[in-house]
């Protein structure tokens, strides 16, 4: 058994917001008809979270389901649980046009959290074409966008805390972007 490591092995940086690589995370791409009863039931029974509405992420402990597109969900579970969850999801989808694939090692996860010095919303607002105001981007929301030149997805896990997912191959670039955006002294102070 190989010793799995995350892309940047838990690296972190501290500016007016903190940026931390979250380490290993089980991530499963689940594709299929979101209205199909078997898929919805698989999400609630096997993953253990509610089926997410459009552009939202539902969470229960370390498990989550995020809306990625009209026919795709991102399922998050503890890293070690992913193979078993994939097997159970695949069994549940049998007979329907669907797919469950373990993508854990293809992605990297970062946490961006604000401090007394400045807001995590500002770190993302500088980099993505997204309205990051408290009124527009509320807790539980999740969306895909771009961060400078990298495709990413992020969701609000708290009032000023965000979880961000990118391709593993772009992890260093994304970490550098976030760290630079969060550099102390560079706050604009709009949030």
Residues forming contacts to other proteins in the complex (CB under 8 A) are 54-55, 67-70, 129, 143-146, 151
Nearer CB in complex with other proteins: 150/180: 150
Q: How far is the CB of 80 from other proteins (least distance, A)?
A: 29
Q: How far is the CB of 130 from other proteins (least distance, A)?
A: 9
Nearer CB in complex with other proteins: 89/128: 128
Q: Which residue has the tokens 């994304």?
A: 174
Q: How far is the CB of 53 from other proteins (least distance, A)?
A: 11
SS3 content of the chain, % helix, strand, coil (to 5): 25, 35, 40
DSSP label of 39: H
Count of helix runs (H) and strand runs (E) in the chain: 4, 11
C-alpha distances out from residue 161 to 86, 124, 131, Å: 29, 11, 15
Nearer CB in complex with other proteins: 67/110: 67
Nearer CB in complex with other proteins: 88/144: 144
Distance from C-alpha of 168 to C-alpha of 9, rounded to nearest angstrom: 12
């Amino acid at each position: 058994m190989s010793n799995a490591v995350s892309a940047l092995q838990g690296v972190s940086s501290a500016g007016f917001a903190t940026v931390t690589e979250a380490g290993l995370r089980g991530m499963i791409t689940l594709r299929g008809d979101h209205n199909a009863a078997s898929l919805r039931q698989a999400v609630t029974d096997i993953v253990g979270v509610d089926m997410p509405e459009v552009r939202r992420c539902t969470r229960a402990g370390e498990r989550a389901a995020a809306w990625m597109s009209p026919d795709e969900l991102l399922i998050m579970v503890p890293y070690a649980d992913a193979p078993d969850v994939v097997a159970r999801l695949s069994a549940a989808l049998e007979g329907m046009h669907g797919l469950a694939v373990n993508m854990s090692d293809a992605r990297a996860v970062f946490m961006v959290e604000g401090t007394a010095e400045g807001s995590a919303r500002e770190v993302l607002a500088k980099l993505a074409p997204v309205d990051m105001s408290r009124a527009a981007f509320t807790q539980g929301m999740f969306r895909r966008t771009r961060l400078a030149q990298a495709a990413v997805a992020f969701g609000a896990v708290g009032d000023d805390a965000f979880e961000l997912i990118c391709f593993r191959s772009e992890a260093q670039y994304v970490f550098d972007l976030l760290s630079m955006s969060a550099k102390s002294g560079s706050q604009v102070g709009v949030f």
